[in-house]
Amino acid sequence: MSLQQQSAAQTTSKVPNNPENGKNTNPEINEYIEIQMEKERMRLEREAGITSSNIQHFSAPTENLFTADQRGSTTLLFGGLTWGHEHLIEGAFRGLGYKTSAIPTPDVESFQLGKEYGNNGQCNPTYFTVGNLVQYLQGLKKNGMSTEEIIDKHVFVTAGACGPCRFGMYEAEYRLALRNSGFDNFRVILFQQTGGLNQSEMEAGLEMNMDFSMAIINAFNMGDMFNGVGYQIRPYEVVPGKTDEVMQKNLDAMHDVMRDKSRYETTGTSKRILSMLKLDGTANYIGKFCDQLFGKDYTDGLSTVRDNFNEIEVDRFRVKPVVKITGEFWAQLTEGDGNFNMFRFLEGENAEVLVEPVGTWIQYIMWQYKAAIRDRKAVGEDEFDVPAWRLDKKLAIELSYWKKVATMSIAEKLFAREYNRFQYALGGTLHELVDQYELQRLGHPHY
């Protein structure tokens, strides 16, 4: 045997046997290959005179937990929507047992603080929203609260998602500005984080359960409707300022409805029996679901709000152009310096404003989820390259796919149903939500 043959034989003997017809499914083989590749990379770098250094990848900073025992002493802060949305969300949070406070609408000073303490080259919505939180905390400090007390007794709650734009970088931008402004270790919680901050050993301070999800979605929907009706009435009011006066009254009333809303729970003998049968959780889930679909707490409150709006004297003989607002999500929604007070300016120029509701964005997220699972069908680790004779696996893949599609389709229908139920209780003068599939059909030929 030649020296080359001996070397090849020794190398072959080091490779772990793979019983699966040559496929590299054995983790020992993959590890061996990675080691050999790393050795070869190091050899080539030495020959080329390249000195490499160990790369330390970024990891999210460890954050103080927000636990259940801190709820009574910790205030949840949030912002970034309209005042109407935020007032109703306050009521929803308080109804769930949280201390909460909405941050005021961002102004130009917030923008300047965002630029001062944040990254360069960010978009205006980033500077406004991030700077607004810094401004609010600085206000607490000016009023006598210590930095340690602010950090210990407050948590900021915001929405989060993946992506390269402002929305995907929200968390990092908030943390950077907070650190640069002297509020390092201030807690930021994203809606997308299951169980608050992945607190497995302790009960999370912010329980993102069914009650939480439904309360927030209801507040979003009703906030959309209040704003929409206000924009429909304000340009035609006979007494200037009357719409804003009634709007304040209605928002306060609906805030109390959200706060005082009773949550369905099994009790007494039925709870004990269901617990013995291990059906307590399922029964609670079904009860909460039915209460949402058929309960009258919200629709009765909206009917009262409708009657209050009807008391506003209007002159419909005024000719007004309808101006549709579109654009970046936050800028086309906010009601302040973030869009140069555009809505009040347009109304002052004798226009009727039409603003897209948050509900359209929620429907888009559901549409996007269905599109993603359709595009990724059969490309998962357990789904790729399934042998033709494994009909059981192919059937399981199909069933899993259609289960996800059906679940989200039901969610879409129920969301639209609840939105329409609320807006009809409010008088039925608003548009129904945009059909995402019609938009898809119209836009498809252009891409």
CA-CA distance, 74 to 241, in Å (whole number)?
37
Residues 83 and 218 placed together within one structural domain of the fold: no
Q: Which of 124, 87, 91, 92 is nearest to 108 (CA)?
A: 124
- Bridge partners of 99, per DSSP, are 75
Q: Any residues with CB less than 8 A from the CB of 153 and at least 6 apart, and which? A: 73, 74, 75
Dihedral of CA 229/235/239/241: which sign? positive
Give the DSSP H/E element, type plus range, for residue 351.
none
Please give the structure tokens belonging to residue 37. 């590749």
Last residue of a domain, one of 192, 208, 224: 208
Query: pTM of the predicted model, to two decimals?
Result: 0.82
Residue 354 identity (one-letter amino acid) = L
Q: Which of 174, 204, 205, 167 is nearest to 188 (CA)?
A: 174
Q: Which of 96, 92, 99, 102 is nearest to 74 (CA)?
A: 99
CA-CA distance, 342 to 287, in Å (whole number)?
44
pLDDT value of position 297: 95
In the block, tokens 């912002």 appear at 79
Q: Write the burial class of residue 48 (CB in 10 Å: 0-12 exposed, 13-18 middle, 19+ buried).
A: exposed
- Cα angle 72, 74, 79; round to 5: 130
pLDDT value of position 381: 58
Residue 189 lies in a domain: yes
Residue 87 lies in a domain: yes
Residue 19 lies in a domain: no
Please give the structure tokens belonging to residue 123. 């978009």
Residue 313 lies in a domain: yes
Residues 227 and 307 placed together within one structural domain of the fold: yes
Q: What's the distance, Cα to Cα, between the start and end of the chain in Å?
A: 63
In the block, tokens 């948050």 appear at 358
Residue 328 lies in a domain: no
pLDDT value of position 445: 94
Residues 82 and 187 placed together within one structural domain of the fold: yes
Domain CATH for 114:
3.40.50
Number of independent structural domains in the chain: 2
Residue 46 lies in a domain: no
Pairing type for strands 99-102 and 75-78 reads parallel
In the block, tokens 């399981």 appear at 396
Residues 199 and 241 placed together within one structural domain of the fold: no
- Bridge partners of 323, per DSSP, are 353
Residue 402 lies in a domain: yes
Q: Any residues with CB less than 8 A from the CB of 438 and at least 6 apart, and which? A: none
Task: For residue 255, report the phi and psi dihedrals to the nearest 5 degrees.
Answer: -55, -45
Last residue of a domain, one of 147, 175, 208: 208
CA-CA distance, 290 to 285, in Å (whole number)?
9
Measured in whole angstroms, how far is the alpha carbon of residue 315 from the centre of its chain? 40
Divide the 447 residues of the chain into consecutive groups of 10 and give the mean pLDDT of each group.
44 46 62 88 83 68 81 93 95 95 96 95 91 98 96 90 67 92 91 45 73 94 97 97 98 97 88 85 91 95 97 96 92 93 96 96 93 82 71 85 94 96 96 94 92
CA distances for 72 relative to 67, 69, 90, 205, 206, angstroms: 10, 7, 15, 10, 12
Residues 199 and 260 placed together within one structural domain of the fold: no
Residue 95 domain boundaries: 68-208
Residues 131 and 85 placed together within one structural domain of the fold: yes
Residues 408 and 278 placed together within one structural domain of the fold: yes
Residue 1 lies in a domain: no
CA-CA distance, 208 to 339, in Å (whole number)?
32
Residue 15 identity (one-letter amino acid) = V
Is the separation of the CB atoms in 314 and 238 below 8 Å? yes
Residues 427 and 440 placed together within one structural domain of the fold: yes
Last residue of a domain, one of 208, 241, 261: 208
Measured in whole angstroms, how far is the alpha carbon of residue 374 from the centre of its chain? 22
Residues 274 and 226 placed together within one structural domain of the fold: yes
Residues 86 and 227 placed together within one structural domain of the fold: no
Residues 397 and 439 placed together within one structural domain of the fold: yes
Q: Which of 433, 429, 420 is nearest to 356 (CA)?
A: 433
CA-CA distance, 235 to 224, in Å (whole number)?
18
Encode burial over 122-147: b for 16+ CB neighbours within 10 A, e otherwise: bebbbbbbbbbbbbbbbebeeeeeee
Residues 389 and 419 placed together within one structural domain of the fold: yes
pLDDT value of position 197: 40
pLDDT value of position 31: 85
pLDDT value of position 6: 45
CA-CA distance, 247 to 426, in Å (whole number)?
13
